[in-house]
Chains A and B, each alone.
Chain A
Amino acid sequence: MPVTQSSRAAAFDFRHRERTPAAHPQPCGAGKPHSTAPRPSGHKPPALRLRRPVFGRAACVLALCLGGGLLQAADLSVSVKGVASDSGQVMLALYADEAEFLKSAHQSQRTVASARDAQGSLRFVFKDLPPGRYAVSGFHDRNGNGELDSNLFGVPSEPLGFSNGATSFFGPPGFAKAAITVGSVDQHIDIPLQ
């Protein structure tokens, strides 16, 4: 008899890949410039790409989707908590809809784990986001290979976390559980790594 594939199988193959091309992003906060190996392209083409001037603090915007809501754009600052060691890097991805969740980051940032503070936190900022629903995932890439390592079932072997502290069993939560609403006011969220 034909075997119906479980629709859940795909969800367990999630990889926290940064889909945007290597642009030697500046680390956020203090820290040395971090050079990256060439990354495969294949990100979702943005409606408009803007090259932003770099200010005193880092801005790691790699693609920006502009809509009519520019005047209402807000900053989303993210504290990644529980970075337990200095090894490797911490990678963060912002998703703007369910279709791209954990497949293709709307924006992504990374920084060396050694930039963590005394409490093991790292702060990132996604600037000027148009209003909407966004989900954020982050992980500690301890071995610096740019990927969320996992076992054969896709169970991650490196610490990771999601906005809203969203969880599900043995795999990633859905976009809806992780999504937060960005309005016209700057906001801050925590992502505890687990």
Chain B
Amino acid sequence: MQTQPSHALSDPNTVPGCARRRFLQAFAGLGLGAIAGLHVQPSTAAPSSHAWHSSYAPWDAPGFAGAIETPALAMTGKAPEALRGSFYRNGPARFGRSGQRLSHWFDGDGMVQRFRIDGAQVAHQGRMLDTAKSRAEAQQGRFLYSGFGSQVANARPMLRPDDANPANINLLSMDGGRRLYALWEAGSALQIDPDSLQTLGPKAWSSETAGAPFSAHPREARDGSIWNFGYLPASGRLLIYHIGADGRVLRHRMIQVPQADMVHDFAITERHLVFLLQPLLADPQADGQANLLAAFSWDSGAPLLACVVSKADFSQRWVELPNAGLFHIGNAWEEGNTLRLGFVQHDNLLGALRDFDVSAGHTQRETLGTRWTELALQPSTGRHQVLSSGRSGLRGVEFPRHDQRRTGQASELTVLLQRSAAWQAATVLGFDRVLVLDGERQQHFDYGGGFLVEEHVLVPHPQHSDERAGWVLGTAYHWPSETTVLSVFAAGHVGDGPLAQWRLPYGLPLGLHGQFVAA
């Protein structure tokens, strides 16, 4: 696979270069105030599928050699002087091969982005991940796996997850950013070079855990050690990892639990791990050549099971919660014998999974059926209390983030994306707003017409412990101009709009999760 970086995506005549230049000029002329003031509905002139298709088209174009970079991004506004480090993002990028298309968002081959931020200077690099899957498919000249939700003709059965691992969900940084891993969830982590983004190979944390699933949402404890888990549909088990800051496995343990056929995230507290196990059940006899989504059903009569695992001895205690689904959990912490956590509750998780069809790019549903829910669990009694659920308009939200210095302890800010009321009637799948919860208060910023907003992360200020002294950082894809913008906000004042924005001359594939690694 060619690795030379190139500035050009492909023949400029094949993309609307003139149109793009006009938009960029208009962009530059608008200034921040005008951007903040835009409250335009997503354009109905551009088909809703264009928004998603256009973000992925460059990455299966013949001219794309696998890597791209821009050494200096154009900036508007004033960048915070103390913001220095690399913002990495991961997500699916390649959905086409030899005339075949993958339709499900989760199935595109992974591509990692790096924004290297040094005060006002920002450089971008992007590189496709070099996985066993993409190599085999390049060699065969076709897609070989139907993956999570796509349909590939003459697909190979998904017997070994790592054969079909696109490594496209998230990243894990260790050792001050010297070691970086691209994460999937049903297979191994993939180690990559943090500077060049080149793939180094699948990571075996220990000989016993080699090849086992490693989730996309590891959590770092205060002592720098990493807790994570792995699941495999229809296995009836979870594998728990505790990895030291030096990368060596301290302990691992298989626990047998029900309702563990799709477990995307978990939480840690000072002394416990918390899993929310939803009744999304995989048929173990489903056809291995079809996609995994076809094997799932939802048991609406079953509870959401909170499984509280002791870090000391892996013993489990249970709290039964009302039926609900989820992908993501915010932060969690202990208050005496109570465990507090927040999560994004889905009222139709299976419907949402079926909805992530990027070949259509539109949603069947007008509303994103989610809400921010805060719980207090009492594992010693099995009781719980719903502290809030969808309060103050916290519906249509996703991608919760917290200050990772506070993982497992009481924290104050939660960043969320939201599909605002202005967008609820629109058909484009995605989010238009970034929102910060601060206790009972919240602030938000609407990106406005034509923008699809991606996960925004909380970046701590290097010299201040107050969460509000840091920043909110994230990307948004502007589909009319097919460009991506990186924005930084004061964490305590998101409502004031971005402090600075940097624009790429191209758009990035609409992705999933990212991590900021301080310089």
Q: How many residues of A contact B (CB 8 A)?
A: 27
Assess the A153–B234 pair: CB atoms within 8 A.
Answer: no
Query: Which one, B186, B233, B258, contacts A3 given CB within 8 A?
Result: B258
Most B Cβ at <10 Å: residue of A3, A8, A157, A171: A8
Among B16-24, B210-218, B474-482, the stretch in contact with A: B210-218
Assess the A169–B284 pair: CB atoms within 8 A.
Answer: yes
- Chain A residues lying within 8 Å of B320, measured Cβ to Cβ, are 1
Chain A residue at smallest Cβ distance from B158: A169
Assess the A3–B159 pair: CB atoms within 8 A.
Answer: no
Whether a CB of chain B sits under 8 angstroms from the CB of A55 is no
Query: Which one, B209, B233, B289, contacts A170 given CB within 8 A?
Result: B233
14 contacts between A and B (CB under 8 A): A5-B256, A5-B258, A6-B234, A8-B235, A11-B284, A151-B212, A152-B212, A156-B159, A167-B157, A168-B284, A168-B287, A170-B161, A171-B284, A194-B156
Assess the B159–A8 pair: CB atoms within 8 A.
Answer: no
- Chain A residues lying within 8 Å of B158, measured Cβ to Cβ, are 169-170
Whether a CB of chain A sits under 8 angstroms from the CB of B295 is yes
Whether a CB of chain A sits under 8 angstroms from the CB of B246 is no
Whether a CB of chain A sits under 8 angstroms from the CB of B364 is no
Assess the B239–A168 pair: CB atoms within 8 A.
Answer: no
Assess the B234–A169 pair: CB atoms within 8 A.
Answer: yes
A27 to chain B, nearest CB (A): 27
Residues 244-266 (chain B) with a chain A CB within 8 angstroms:
252, 254, 256-258, 260
- Chain A residues lying within 8 Å of B258, measured Cβ to Cβ, are 3-6
- Alpha-carbon distance between A167 and B288 when the two chains are bound, in angstroms: 5
Whether a CB of chain A sits under 8 angstroms from the CB of B387 is no
- Chain B residues lying within 8 Å of A157, measured Cβ to Cβ, are 160, 211
Q: How many residues of B contact A (CB 8 A)?
A: 40
Residues 153-194 (chain A) with a chain B CB within 8 angstroms:
153-157, 160, 167-171, 173-174, 177, 194
- Chain B residues lying within 8 Å of A174, measured Cβ to Cβ, are 285
Whether a CB of chain A sits under 8 angstroms from the CB of B399 is no
Chain A residue at smallest Cβ distance from B305: A1
Chain A residue at smallest Cβ distance from B257: A3
Query: Which one, B233, B235, B289, B318, contacts A9 given CB within 8 A?
Result: B235
Whether a CB of chain A sits under 8 angstroms from the CB of B226 is no
Whether a CB of chain A sits under 8 angstroms from the CB of B389 is no
Residues 127-164 (chain B) with a chain A CB within 8 angstroms:
156-161
Given A152-B208, A153-B232, A157-B211, residue A173 in contact with residue B237 (CB < 8 A): no
Q: 4 extra interchain contacts, Cβ-Cβ under 8 A, other than A3-B257, A160-B159?
A: A3-B318, A8-B234, A156-B159, A170-B234
Mark contacts of A1-41 with chain B using CB atoms, 8 A cut-off: 1 yes-contact digit, 0 otherwise. Answer: 10111111101100000000000000000000000000000
Whether a CB of chain A sits under 8 angstroms from the CB of B236 is yes
Given A3-B256, A152-B209, residue A170 in contact with residue B156 (CB < 8 A): no
Assess the A153–B237 pair: CB atoms within 8 A.
Answer: yes
- Alpha-carbon distance between A170 and B382 when the two chains are bound, in angstroms: 33
Assess the B157–A194 pair: CB atoms within 8 A.
Answer: yes
- Alpha-carbon distance between A10 and B307 when the two chains are bound, in angstroms: 21
Whether a CB of chain A sits under 8 angstroms from the CB of B500 is no
Whether a CB of chain A sits under 8 angstroms from the CB of B434 is no
The DSSP consensus for interface residues of chain B is loop
Task: Spell out A's residues near B (CB within 8 Å).
Answer: 1, 3-9, 11-12, 151-157, 160, 167-171, 173-174, 177, 194
- Chain B residues lying within 8 Å of A177, measured Cβ to Cβ, are 285
Assess the B236–A169 pair: CB atoms within 8 A.
Answer: no
* Interchain residue pairs A-B with the least CB separation, the first 8: A6-B236, A167-B288, A167-B157, A9-B236, A151-B211, A1-B318, A153-B232, A8-B234
Whether a CB of chain A sits under 8 angstroms from the CB of B167 is no
- Alpha-carbon distance between A151 and B209 when the two chains are bound, in angstroms: 7
Whether a CB of chain A sits under 8 angstroms from the CB of B79 is no
- Chain A residues lying within 8 Å of B285, measured Cβ to Cβ, are 168, 173-174, 177
- Alpha-carbon distance between A90 and B258 when the two chains are bound, in angstroms: 36
Assess the B318–A170 pair: CB atoms within 8 A.
Answer: no
Assess the B256–A194 pair: CB atoms within 8 A.
Answer: no
- Chain A residues lying within 8 Å of B421, measured Cβ to Cβ, are none
Whether a CB of chain A sits under 8 angstroms from the CB of B10 is no
- Alpha-carbon distance between A5 and B255 when the two chains are bound, in angstroms: 10
Assess the A155–B209 pair: CB atoms within 8 A.
Answer: no
- Chain B residues lying within 8 Å of A194, measured Cβ to Cβ, are 156-157, 159
- Chain B residues lying within 8 Å of A173, measured Cβ to Cβ, are 285, 288
- Chain A residues lying within 8 Å of B234, measured Cβ to Cβ, are 6, 8, 11-12, 169-171
Mark contacts of B194-229 with chain A using CB atoms, 8 A cut-off: 1 yes-contact digit, 0 otherwise. Answer: 000000000000001111110000000000000000
- Alpha-carbon distance between A157 and B288 when the two chains are bound, in angstroms: 17
Chain A residue at smallest Cβ distance from B318: A1
- Chain A residues lying within 8 Å of B210, measured Cβ to Cβ, are 151
Assess the B316–A9 pair: CB atoms within 8 A.
Answer: no
Whether a CB of chain A sits under 8 angstroms from the CB of B282 is yes
- Alpha-carbon distance between A174 and B470 when the two chains are bound, in angstroms: 54
Assess the A170–B208 pair: CB atoms within 8 A.
Answer: no
- Alpha-carbon distance between A44 and B235 when the two chains are bound, in angstroms: 27
Whether a CB of chain A sits under 8 angstroms from the CB of B73 is no
- Chain A residues lying within 8 Å of B35, measured Cβ to Cβ, are none
Assess the A152–B254 pair: CB atoms within 8 A.
Answer: yes
- Alpha-carbon distance between A40 and B64 when the two chains are bound, in angstroms: 57
Assess the B213–A169 pair: CB atoms within 8 A.
Answer: no
Assess the B208–A8 pair: CB atoms within 8 A.
Answer: no
Assess the A154–B235 pair: CB atoms within 8 A.
Answer: yes
A185 to chain B, nearest CB (A): 29
Whether a CB of chain A sits under 8 angstroms from the CB of B61 is no
- Alpha-carbon distance between A153 and B157 when the two chains are bound, in angstroms: 17
- Chain B residues lying within 8 Å of A4, measured Cβ to Cβ, are 258
Most B Cβ at <10 Å: residue of A169, A173, A177: A169
Assess the B289–A167 pair: CB atoms within 8 A.
Answer: yes
Whether a CB of chain A sits under 8 angstroms from the CB of B292 is yes
Assess the B295–A169 pair: CB atoms within 8 A.
Answer: yes
- Alpha-carbon distance between A127 and B258 when the two chains are bound, in angstroms: 43
